[in-house]
A and B are shown apart, each in its own frame.
Chain A
């Protein structure tokens, strides 16, 4: 009996040593441990992806495609789907809801793909995802942030943290650390992303008892915000809340600073892009961005991803690219674990993903197929993003609430 226990202990030690040694290998994407190498996949597995590749949303769709391409290349190089199995993507372009529906129909009914990534816009998702649901094909949004996306059915997933998971923590943390009590709000009212962001901001501000001195809007494509900013700043808010995307964000920051405003500027996912720092320069100091991805995290997967992306495309990735990249890996993992191209099996495996390491952090899907991972509140300091309050010990944990209110 004694010897048996000794033997067992020795085995465990050897095993652990083996595991440790195995982990010493460069941190690579993909969980090769969770499921066995698949043996039943055809030579080529083609999934679908619907992104806005033309038109003014091509700014997002284009980098999403880049993120997915990078992932697919790495997946194939690593033989993630098994020996001799290649993952391929059939990209479809969607510039409107009709387009998205036609694209989804083509992918799911004509090409018969077992899984779909996208579409880029939430409005397109509401139009097209039901078709995937009806046909029993899993679809994962990699940039859908509106509420109610996964309510469309159990085949609808998303890996993009909705604004309601990111913004409350952003406001709570920044208000506590910076101590502002009055704000001015500037948001885009004709765009899905920015409008949803605005609404969550308002709720969060109300919940934290912060007074909103004024609200101003702009339209997509606007680049002159002097009028709106002059209005807001005349009331001397202690902070500026901005729900905008990167291109407008740059101008808003520059113009606000040019008008003499030196306080904090707080934004959502839309501002989480290297373009903000590159193009707003010094003006971006002190800008706070609540985001799903910490671009300067020392998570080795994130670091590796940023390096790989820059090597491949000569440009830094933004949140859209990162979430698309992660989405492709998640989908590949589901296919690997399902060991089949049966959409239902892939769906089940997707739902089962727990604590999967990604550049976004350890990723899981919640019961309602929304993403669960830690969001981050970033601040621009000395020309780069940093985590807000990183050097303060008693930091409030950001809310990891992945469930959303069901409104509209």
Chain B
């Protein structure tokens, strides 16, 4: 009996992280109809940024990077919108592919110049920073989520928007997200190598959020790590906030309108483009927080932690229902429970297979998942 309870506790705290991750997935899919397979890469970057923020010796690097990066990004965006895009009008007489090629080349050159300038400034500034810098874990959480949100927006502009504008089908958007994921993971590999000398790094063990840390407490025969409970609490709070936002605020209403039908929503005067950006930001922020919480729970961070959780996230949203945000939440916990129970009943080697078999069965019996709407446009 105690074993059973212990297993349940294990499952629930794991489920909270899965649920947070799945939420972002579900948000983008339900509102925008896009399955963003780069979501797991954003999760990993959230963990990485969180790691840099929590490690006193590396935090200066992060702050320096932000100080240098922000103005450069703003400059870059100004140049893009004020010079490059209008400038493209001069090439209208050329074949479309050549136009695009020229645009691409100009952008690549410009971004490289910016990057090199940024690098120089970064190096020059570095000595002025203190050796160590301790950032509060709560602030680190914010860093991680904002980083996730920004990366997610970048994805939207680079990988999804151009495809949407030429009405590409969902398959193309999926592939685009896969390409973006590949790029993000590879850049992370270089970043890890540069900062740590190897593609593996560990969170400090003694992180406490509001005084709650990693030392296990025992209640009878059960053991609980307080930080996992804290993570559970954070996850639940965030989900409630999200739910509130979607159901009660005007912005949320607009998001639901876009989810229902984009054309109608734009006819109603909703700025669909803005909703896209907002949705991507939120989804990325959630992924980023899921990442740093994952890092605090499991300590080890590599550029590849997204790969495992990608399939789990997918399963979670399918089980919960591909149109539904509550579904993602439930799905995340469900997957964690199924995994834990499979292991508990002696099937540790088949754990993932069992999850997939249940996924299969769910798809055959009730494709819309537990909470989804029966087949409509989104399906």
A62 neighbours in B (Cβ, 8 Å):
193, 197-199
Bound together, the chains give a CA A175 to CA B255 distance in angstroms of 63
Q: Which residues of A contact B196 (CB under 8 A)?
A: 315
Partner of A217, one of B189, B200, B348: B348
From residue B207, how far is it (CB to closest CB) to chain A in Å?
13
Of the stretches A4-12, A224-232, A396-404, the one at the interface is: A224-232
Given A230-B10, A250-B300, A258:B223 Cβ within 8 A: yes
Report the contact-size class of chain B (Cβ under 8 Å from the partner).
Answer: 35 or more
Give the distance in Å from the alpha carbon of A55 to the alpha carbon of B192 in the complex: 12
Report 15 cross-chain contacts, Cβ distance below 8 Å, ordered by A residue: A54-B189, A55-B304, A62-B193, A189-B349, A217-B349, A227-B7, A227-B340, A227-B344, A231-B3, A231-B344, A250-B202, A259-B6, A259-B216, A279-B205, A314-B197
A230 close to B3 (CB less than 8 A): yes
- Confirm or deny: B155 has a beta carbon within 8 angstroms of a beta carbon on chain A: no
Q: Is residue A59 contacting chain B, with contact meaning CB distance below 8 A?
A: yes
Question: Once bound together, how far apart are the Cα atoms of A259 and B3, in whole Å?
Answer: 11
Q: How far is the CA of A247 from the CA of B200 in the complex (A)?
A: 8
Q: Is the CB of B205 within 8 A of A224?
A: no
Is A234 located at the chain interface by the 8 A CB criterion? yes
B-binding residues in A (CB < 8 A): 54-56, 58-59, 62-63, 66, 189, 216-219, 221-224, 226-228, 230-231, 234, 247, 250-251, 254, 257-260, 275, 278-279, 281, 313-315
Please measure, in the bound complex, the distance between the C-alpha atom of A279 and the C-alpha atom of B297, giving whole angstroms.
12
Query: Which residues from chain B contact A260 at a C-beta distance below 8 Å?
Result: 218, 223
Known: A231-B344, A279-B299. 8 other contacts (CB 8 A): A56-B304, A56-B307, A62-B193, A219-B351, A221-B307, A234-B3, A247-B302, A278-B202
> Which residues of the other chain, A, contact B348 by a CB distance below 8 angstroms?
216-218, 227-228, 231
Q: Which residue of chain A is the closest to B217 with respect to CB atoms?
A: A258
* Min distance, Cβ B272 to any Cβ of chain A, angstroms: 38
From A230, A275, A278, A279, B7 is in contact (CB under 8 Å) with A230
Q: Interface on B for A, CB 8 Å cutoff? A: 3, 6-7, 10-11, 14, 186, 189, 193, 196-200, 202, 205, 216, 218, 223, 225, 297-300, 302, 304-305, 307-308, 339-340, 343-344, 346, 348-349, 351-352
Chief secondary structure at chain A's binding surface: helix
Which one of B216, B348, B349 has the greatest number of beta carbons of chain A within 10 Å? B348
A224-B14 Cα distance, complex, nearest whole Å: 8
Residue numbers in B under 8 Å from A281 (CB-CB): 205
- What is the bound-complex CA distance between A71 and B107, given in angstroms? 43
Minimum CB–CB distance for B64 against chain A, Å: 19
Closest A residue to B294 by beta carbon equals: A223
Which of B199, B202, B205 meets A58, CB within 8 Å? Answer: B199
B299 engages A59 (CB within 8 Å): no
CB distance from B333 to the nearest CB of A (A): 14
Q: Which residues of A contact B7 (CB under 8 A)?
A: 226-227, 230
CB distance from B45 to the nearest CB of A (A): 16
B202 and A221 form a contact (CB under 8 A): no
**Secondary structure of the B side of the interface?**
helix
Minimal Cβ-Cβ distance residue in B for A260:
B223
> Please, which residues of chain B bring their CB within 8 A of the CB of A189?
349
Partner of B344, one of A230, A250, A278: A230
From B202, B343, B349, name the one whose CB has the most chain A CB atoms within 10 angstroms. Answer: B343
Question: What are the residues of chain B within 8 A of A275 when measuring CB–CB?
Answer: 200, 202
> Which residues from A are CB-within-8-Å of B225?
258
CB of B151 to closest CB in A, whole Å: 21
Residue of chain A at shortest CB distance from B4: A230
Residues of the B chain whose Cβ atoms lie less than 8 Å from the Cβ of A228: 343, 348
Given A54-B189, A230-B3, A234-B3, the answer on whether A279 and B202 have CB atoms closer than 8 Å is yes
| In contact, A219 and B3 (Cβ under 8 angstroms) | no
Measured CB to CB, the closest approach of chain B to A271, in angstroms, equals 14
List residues of chain B with CB within 8 A of the CB of A258: 216, 223, 225
| Contact, CB under 8 Å: B300 / A223 | yes
A59 to B346, CA, bound (A): 31
Residues of A within 8 A of B218 (CB): 260
Task: Give Cα A177–Cα B12 distance, bound, in whole angstroms.
Answer: 40
- Docked-complex contact A221 and B308, CB < 8 angstroms: yes
Give chain B residues whose Cβ lies under 8 Å from the Cβ of A221. Answer: 304-305, 307-308
By a CB distance below 8 angstroms, the chain A residues around B300 are: 223, 247, 250-251, 279
Is A59 touching B199 in the complex (CB atoms < 8 A)? yes
Across the interface, do A59 and B197 meet the contact criterion of CB distance under 8 Å?
no
> Shortest 3 CB-CB distances between A and B: which pairs?
A227-B343, A226-B10, A223-B298
A226 surroundings in chain B (CB, below 8 A)? 6-7, 10, 14, 340
- Decide yes or no: A66 and B304 within 8 Å by CB, A227-B348, A260-B218 being known contacts: no
Cα distance A58–B186 in the bound complex, in angstroms: 12
Contacts of A250 in B (CB 8 A): 202, 299-300
Most-contacted residue by chain B among A62, A227, A247, A278 (CB, 10 A): A227
Instruction: Enumerate chain B residues within 8 angstroms of A227, measured Cβ to Cβ.
Output: 7, 10-11, 339-340, 343-344, 348
Whether B197 and A313, one on each chain, are in contact in the complex, defined by CB atoms closer than 8 angstroms, is: yes
Q: Report the bound CA distance from A251 to B202 in whole Å.
A: 11
Known A-B contacts A217-B349, A223-B300, A230-B7; A58 and B14 likewise in contact (beta carbons under 8 Å)? no
CB distance from A118 to the nearest CB of B (A): 17
Residues of A within 8 A of B308 (CB): 221-222
Complex: A327 Cα to B285 Cα, angstroms: 46
CA distance A300 to B308 in the complex (A): 42
Q: CB distance A230 to B197 under 8 Å?
A: no
A59–B201 alpha-carbon span in the complex (Å): 10
In the bound complex, residues from chain B placing their C-beta under 8 Å from that of A254 are 299
Q: Which A residues lie within 8 Å of B351 (CB)?
A: 219
Which chain A residue has the least Cβ–Cβ distance from B198?
Answer: A62
In the bound assembly, the distance between CA atoms of A277 and B279 in angstroms comes to: 42
Inter-chain contact A216/B343, CB cutoff 8 Å: yes
Chain B neighbourhood of A224, CB < 8 A: 10, 14, 298
